[in-house]
Amino acid sequence: MIGSLLDYKGNQQAAKAVQKTAEFNAQVAEDEAVTLRRAKVREESNLRKASERTIATQRVATAASGIEMSGSALEALADSYFNTEMDALDIRYAADIEETAKKSEAALARAEGRSRAAAYKLASYQSLLEGGEKAAKAMA
């Protein structure tokens, strides 16, 4: 009977440990999602700054050559803006995918933790029942 109680206590503690570990892993994944989002925001900002420098260089070169900002020069400038926006959208899309993956990872960690904890709790109750059964047979 003492062994059954010890098994019960051990499995209950294991269930708590599994849940704490799962919650920790989930929190790490959520923190990584925030970090990844911040990195993508910084990446987009850097892209825009580099694009503005390129566009400014295009304007200066066009003005220095004496050409008016129309026709091909204007189309090149418009392409620069368009390409910047497309690249920014790609960065945002990648950020959304990464953030969703990390949130899913966190949810999965929590679900696995609950499942494992339930298994340990079930094993702890089973050990109590087996101990009770053995005690009842010994008394009979």
Question: Is 43 exposed, middle or buried, given 0-12, 13-18 or 19+ CB atoms closer than 10 A?
Answer: middle
From CA 108, how far away is CA 115, in angstroms rounded? 10
CATH of the domain at 22: 1.10.287
E strand residue ranges, 24-134:
none
Query: What is the tens place of the pLDDT at every residue in 52-72?
Result: 999 999 888 888 888 777 778
Residue 131 has what pLDDT? 85
Is the pLDDT reported for residue 111 higher than 80? yes
From CA 97, how far away is CA 49, in angstroms rounded? 24
Residue 70 DSSP label: -
Over the chain, what is the mean pLDDT? Answer: 92
Phi, psi at residue 65, to the nearest 5°?
Answer: -80, -5
Mean pLDDT score, 136-140: 81
Structural domain harbouring 109: 2-139
Domain count, the chain: 1
Residue 69 DSSP label: S
